[in-house]
Amino acid sequence: MTELPLSGLRVLDFSTLLPGPLAGLLLAEAGADVIKIERPGGEDGRRMKPNWGDVAATFAFLNGGKRSVAIDLKQAGARERLLPLIESADILIEQFRPGVMARLGLGYEELCVLNPRLIYCSITGYGQDGPLAGRAGHDLNYQGEAGILALNTGAPERPQVPPVLAADIAGGSYPAVMNILLALRQREHTGRGLHLDIAMTDNLFAFAFRALAGGWAGGDWPRSGTGLLTGGSPRYQLYPTADGALLAVAALEDRFWDTFCEAMELPDDLRLADAPPDRVIDAIRTLVSCEPAAHWADLFERVDCCCSIVRSLAEAVTSPHFQARGLFDYSLRQGDLEGLGALPVPISRELRRPSGEVRDVAPLGAHNEELLGKS
């Protein structure tokens, strides 16, 4: 097998729940030796339902293929026991509020003296400084602070919670890995590591690129349900079918819109660019509601205009397309227990561990003696 791009690199993962563990998983899939460091008893993510064997299925998803160390960081002597690992590490990921690692004697300023090549990645909600730096929060709070939630909250009487943890994953895990890789490249030139400040809320503003452009360029700040991509356009809209499914219409370009209108036999006056959006949306909604999802699925398999039926997650994982792509050909093992599929990750198959290589979910503290020696 060809050596993986991160083979030979050691990562210490002090993080919990989702953002940091997923970042560590991506590095592990690319060949890094990731050592997960948890408190005795394990992190909270181990106990979130549903279970798979002895641990939460989501914990297994995010931590398969890592080695495990359990240690009380507040206990006298804990830092000294970790020093050999710190001195040999290339990357450290932590997800505490600013200042916590420093109080434990594990802050960047102290560790970079011991290991100048260490790339120290801190993932927080609001960053290492600023008025909100010390505030607690979760994904929903971060999306709210960044103005993302306000772009499409659903009906005022029944606001919708977004289904995607965009701040945790797209604002935390992915930027962390991207910046770690950039820092590794920089280290090749400088010989030194650095402290990466990954603020999940900061990283959400890229998702509002169109809204920001409109607001800054012309003072046109979209509200919920308005705007081309946030519910105000008939060209980018969800339409209920006769049997309760949804038709996703994303016919943004004129050529796709024209094809869609022709397929729907939409009246000529409603096809025009200056037609009132609400009238067009209502007309399309009426047409779509007259037929079941199968009718529209069949039509838009034959008509190429960026329209499709919204699938459930259960339907998506059995899709012939994703099956053919091998997205779910990876698996996890926990002792004698096997059979849980591994989380698909955005790393090219050519750069990650092969699908036939089972990822072991290590018992808590399984590698204490190997990595820390006898206590």
Active site residues: 138, 168
Residues 208, 51: Cα–Cα separation, whole Å: 36
Exposed, middle or buried: residue 132 (CB in 10 Å: 0-12, 13-18, 19+)?
A: middle
Residue carrying the six token digits 């020093």: 83
Closest CA to 103 of 146, 127, 134: 134
Cα 76 to Cα 72, 106, 188, 252, 367: the distances in Å are 9, 13, 36, 61, 20
Q: Do 367 and 68 contact (CB within 8 A), yes or no? A: yes
Task: Name beta bridge partners: 10.
Answer: 33
Phi, psi of 21 (to 5 degrees): -55, -40
Q: Which helix (H) or strand (E) holds 199?
A: strand 195-199
What are 250's strand-pairing partners? 236
Separation CA 266–CA 349 (nearest Å): 44
For residue 359, with 0-12 CB atoms within 10 Å meaning exposed, 13-18 middle and 19 or more buried, which class applies? buried
Which residues, including other chains, have CB under 8 Å from residue 249's CB and lie 6 or more apart?
234, 235, 236, 237, 238, 239, 260, 284, 306, 307
- 26 with 169: CB under 8 angstroms? no
Are 293 and 310 within 8 A, CB to CB? Answer: no
User: CA-CA distance, 353 to 356, in Å (whole number)?
Assistant: 9
